Amino acid sequence: MSTAFLGIDVGTTRTKAVVLGSGDGALLAAAAAPTPQGEDDGIAVHSPAAVRAVALDVARRALSDAGPEARAGLGGIAVTSVGEEAVLLDGAGRPVGDVPTWFSGVGSAPAREHAAELDRRAPVTGLRHPEYTVHALAWWARSRPGATRAAATLTDLGSWLLSSLGPGDLVMDHSHASRTGLFDAPTRSWRAEALDVVGTGHLALPRLVPSGTVIGELGGDPAAELGIAAGIPLVSGGHDHFCGALAAGARSPGDLFVSAGTSEAHLLVTDCLDPAATAGSEVGCFVTDGLYYLHAALPSGALYLTWTGLLGLDPSAPLDDLIAGEPVGSRGVRGRISADRRLTLDGVPLDVAPATLLRALMETTAVASRELTRDLSRVAGRAVGQRLLGGRPAESATWREIRAAIGEGAAAFVDAQEATALGAAHLAVRAVTGRLPPPVPRRPGPELSPERRQEYGRALG
């Protein structure tokens, strides 16, 4: 009988592993390490072999801490990873080179160059973001032609890692495929013609599967590396943000997950995609099959880091200490964030205090989040039911109050520290047992009096 499940998350900065109990979904153990990152001609890259070594190390440590009963009763393994990074593989399934990171920018110029031809020859529902895999493939074809010619196929970084634990099929789950620019979400099908446009038409695309599909079993050598028995089911994972949303409790149409980090990701779950209405939006398949997502982001954390630096403040200091005593409305200082990610502040007095500006920034990003949520809701044709907010800012009582007062839908705050890896483990549980574990714990929300809500309404709408 399965007593535990392993979830692995290959993140941008950290690689995490968690062991989850199968009964109540309790976290039995967790381990983490920095995700190894290199550089190739000034381009940030991930080495598949180095990533695999670190992932297996953190998984081995988490399994060791979980104890012998959990190791003996391990029922499944799933992997989540950053979404747009594709590993190119030769005919023997070996990586042909290191992988440009999603933030490396290698796809920006190809995205502009190929946009019209991609839309003409291989249309997909929604936007093709410059970070999508298809644009990185154009970079491969131009900058690494020898490696590109040697490649026979590709998959996302997490699915490749899972396949390396096989035997099992080389696959890509629907949520990762949604971040390639080669996949049409409503029909759940590849648009392989796009490969010809970017000069990689010889590549075969992997088999598509829903997230949470058993695709193979743990092989003997990888089992020995992990210190567990062979034959454990290997389960397809999903894009890391979406696995985090699943673990947080975003599981039904109208659920909104806000992951507040350097980039504040907004993900709205919906049950339909209207190609006409969503033409200008980032859309795709959610990790719960049959559901879709709309996705957008704000540079909230990046603004915070920039402005604490400009104001001579310590960004690692507790936010509540930095803005203690500042009133709702920030003494009349107002801000707005433009579509091209520019911040404008109005009503700034000459003798403004750093705490006032920082409070104004918190209120500005909350208002921008509310407007972004309204846009997503309008495009989806779906009202926001619950708004789940997680990330380091949620540790601040002031931030929680601002977000509870300003936004669409009832706010709940989740402890999302390891939510991405937990989401992968949740998918493994569902694949093997047919049910999802409970969401991650929630932080206590602020109790806002009607008078306090009116104060926010008068100041910020």
Tell me what pLDDT residue 4 has: 95
Say how many residues make up the chain. 461
4-238, what's its fold? Nucleotidyltransferase; domain 5 (3.30.420)
pLDDT, tens only, 274-301? 888 888 889 999 999 799 999 998 988 8
How far apart, in whole angstroms, are the C-alpha atoms of residue 437 and residue 76? Answer: 14
Tell me which architecture the domain covering 250-300+362-460 has in CATH. 2-Layer Sandwich (3.30)
The tokens describing 417, both together, are 């520290």
pTM for this predicted structure: 0.91
pLDDT in tens, 305-341: 999 999 999 999 999 999 989 999 999 999 999 888 8
Q: For the chain, give the mean pLDDT.
A: 93
Structure confidence at residue 71 (pLDDT): 95
**Ranges of CATH 3.30.420.40 domains, the chain:** 4-238, 250-300+362-460
Read off the pLDDT of residues 84-105 as tens digits, 9 standing for 90 and up. 999 999 999 999 999 999 999 9
Residue 3 has pLDDT above 90, yes or no: no
Instruction: Report percent pLDDT > 70 for the chain.
Output: 99
Which sign, positive or negative, has the C-alpha torsion 6, 252, 267, 394?
negative
Task: Supply 391's token pair.
Answer: 């990330």
Relative to beta strand 334-337, strand 343-346 is antiparallel
Q: What is the mean pLDDT of residues 354-369?
A: 95
Rounded CA gap, 432 and 18, in Å? 17
Cα 187 to chain centroid, rounded = 23
- Shortest CA distance to 101 belongs to which of 83, 128, 114? 83
Q: Specify the pLDDT at position 83.
A: 83
pLDDT at 23 exceeding the cut of 80: no
Write down the pLDDT at residue 1. 61
Nearest CA to 304 out of 317, 286, 287, 289 is that of 317
3-state secondary structure the chain: CCCEEEEEEECCCEEEEEEEECCCCCEEEEEEEECCCEEECCEEEECHHHHHHHHHHHHHHHHHHHCHHHHHCEEEEEEEECCCCEEEECCCCCECCCEECCCCCCCHHHHHHHHHHHHHHCCCCCCCCCCCHHHHHHHHHHHCHHHHHHCCEEEEHHHHHHHCCCCECCEEEHHHHCCCCCEECCCCEECCHHHHHCCCCCCECCEEECCCCEEEECCHHHHHHHCCCCCCEEECCCEHHHHHHHHHCCCCCCEEEEEECCCEEEEEEECCCCCCCCCCCEEEECCCCCCEEEEEEECHHHHHHHHHHHCCCCCCCCHHHHCCCCCCCHHHCEEEECCCCCEEEECCCCCCCHHHHHHHHHHHHHHHHHHHHHHHHHHHCCCCCEEEEEEHHHHCHHHHHHHHHCCCCEEEEECCCCHHHHHHHHHHHHHHHCCCCCCCCEECCCCCCHHHHHHHHHHHC
Tokens found for residue 239: 């894009």
